[in-house]
Amino acid sequence: MNGFASEFGREPAGRWAAPGRVNLIGEHVDYADGLCLPFAIAQRTVVAAADRDDAVLRLRSLAERGTVEIDLDDVGTGSPAGWGGYAAGVLWALRAAGHPVRGLDLLVTDTVPLGAGLSSSAALECATALAADDLFGLGLGGTPEGRRQLAAACVRAENEIVGAATGGMDQAAALLATAGHALLLDTHDGSTRQVPFDPQDAGLQVLVIDTKVRHHLADGRYGNRRTAVEKAAETLGLPSLRDATLDQLAALDPGLARRGRHIVTEIGRVREAVALLDAGLVTEIGPLLDASHTSLAEDYEVSCAELDLACATARAAGALGARMVGGGFGGSAIALVPVARAEAVERAVRAAFEADGYREPDFIDAEPSPAAARLATPGDSTVVGLVAA
């Protein structure tokens, strides 16, 4: 990575990259003991890093995120504010877990589009965690169990330092996914299983449609949904809504019942999708994606007009199924598209957005890719950017 030496006056000790993710299905259930099925994408956030003898974190970004410098002893809720909280929070959480972590000089290159619902924040956290793991000899990055501990530190950073009440799906995907698979994550016990998922092999493509509508997970709307489902579970006297029945939900006030219905039906759809993928029936998951979107839009109310338009247009132009991904209120949708129809779908979505006066969307071909790793050489080609539409 050029620029590290000019920023910090020395060479980096190495570079670490963590992927963004697309969640195939199982949205807004990772904080409700649910099941989700994300996969890592080829788009990555890269950090070049060198360790320091003191407890200072110096952070620079080649993208628009600016500069942060903080003593790790000063890291706390909301400090540092903004994007620096993700990286500083990870080092803070590792220290809090008893690991011998010191300061870092860190130069960040973002290639996961920011705020697009593809987990750019988790990518930054996980790349930082892996750099710290290597540079301070924590020995966690080499095993799934160790990576789970790194993921837990990343989640603490996001929950306690950044103040976003997110679940752990994104960090698990970034640290535990494998190429050619989706990661079945059971957030009840943190267990994972690699589920074969190779859209190309089935003549399909997972087309990401970035609406360019930006959102922030700490803006209150995401946390509000989490609070609602926790309240619903508490009202029913259940540890979570995971095993609630639709009959039980009917006893709740109608607003809470709708939120709960999303959780219960979405977990069911994940189970169905996994059964289809295990049986090699990738082309048959489309209706589950559509149903997931409807549930997120109507029961959970986390979609928006641009996401709804992207999904409806993609379906009409030949997608087998389409849904919003991530936290919602903007960001991206995915469409499962026969490769031969991909261009037509892109054209149709672009035209529909133009007709409605929306910003021009971006498109990415999302391929199930490997988890976070140290990069071997300066010219490593795993670093890719958003495909210009």
Residues annotated as part of the active site = 170
- Encoded one letter per residue, x for contact with ligand GAF by CB under 6 A and - for no contact, window 76-115 reads ----------------------------------------
| Burial (0-12, 13-18, 19+ Cβ within 10 Å), 369 | buried
| Binder of ligand GAF out of 4, 17, 25, 27 (CB under 6 A) | 27
Contact status: 299 vs ligand GAF (CB under 6 A): no
**Closer CB to ligand GAF, residue 149 or residue 171?**
171
Q: Does 289 bind ligand GAF (CB under 6 A)?
A: no
Token digits of residue 143: 């095993």
If binding is defined by CB under 6 A, does position 22 make contact with ligand GAF?
no
* For ligand GAF, the closer CB: 109 or 119: 119
Binding characters for ligand GAF, 207-236, by CB under 6 A (x = yes)? ----------x-------------------
Say how far apart CA 322 and CA 302 lie, in whole Å.
15
Whether cis (ω within 30° of 0) applies to the bond prior to 80 is yes
Q: How many residues bind ligand GAF (CB under 6 A)?
A: 13
Q: Closest residue to ligand GAF, Cβ-based?
A: 166
Burial pattern 17-44, b for ≥16 Cβ within 10 A else e, equals bbbbbbbbbbbbbbbbbbbbbbbbbbbb
**327 makes contact with ligand GAF (CB under 6 A):** yes
> By rule CB under 6 A, what string of x and - marks binding of each residue 28-47 to ligand GAF?
x-xx----------------
Structural contact between residues 165 and 183, judged by C-beta atoms closer than 8 angstroms: no
Choose the stretch contacting ligand GAF; rule: CB under 6 A; options: 26-34, 83-91, 192-200, 349-357.
26-34
Long-range CB contacts (within 8 A, 24+) of 56-60:
56/103, 57/84, 57/87, 57/88, 57/91, 57/103, 57/104, 57/106, 58/8, 58/103, 58/104, 58/105, 58/106, 59/84, 59/87, 59/88, 59/106, 59/108, 60/3, 60/7, 60/8, 60/106, 60/107, 60/108
Is 166 a binder of ligand GAF (CB under 6 A)?
Answer: yes
Instruction: Report the alpha-carbon distance of residue 207 to residue 65 in Å, rounded.
Output: 27
Interface pick for ligand GAF out of 170, 290, 346, 367 (rule CB under 6 A): 170
Span interacting with ligand GAF, options 24-32, 47-55, 229-237, 372-380, rule CB under 6 A: 24-32
Give the Cα separation of 21 and 108 in Å (integer).
18
Nearest distance from C-beta of residue 326 to ligand GAF, angstroms: 4
Q: Which is nearer to ligand GAF, 33 or 346 (CB)?
A: 33
Indicate the burial class of 144 (C-beta count within 10 angstroms; 0-12, 13-18, 19 or more).
exposed
Smallest distance, ligand GAF to C-beta of residue 303, A? 12
d(CA 169, CA 325): 12
Closest CB to ligand GAF among 7 and 27? 27
Binding status of residue 12 toward ligand GAF by CB under 6 A: no
User: Is residue 167 within the footprint of ligand GAF (CB under 6 A)?
Assistant: yes
Among 326, 330, 361, 368, interactor with ligand GAF by CB under 6 A? 326
| CB environment 270-295: b (16+ within 10 A), e (fewer) | beebbebbeeeebebbbebbbbbbbb
Q: Which residues bind ligand GAF (CB under 6 A)?
A: 23, 27-28, 30-31, 119, 166-167, 169-170, 217, 326-327
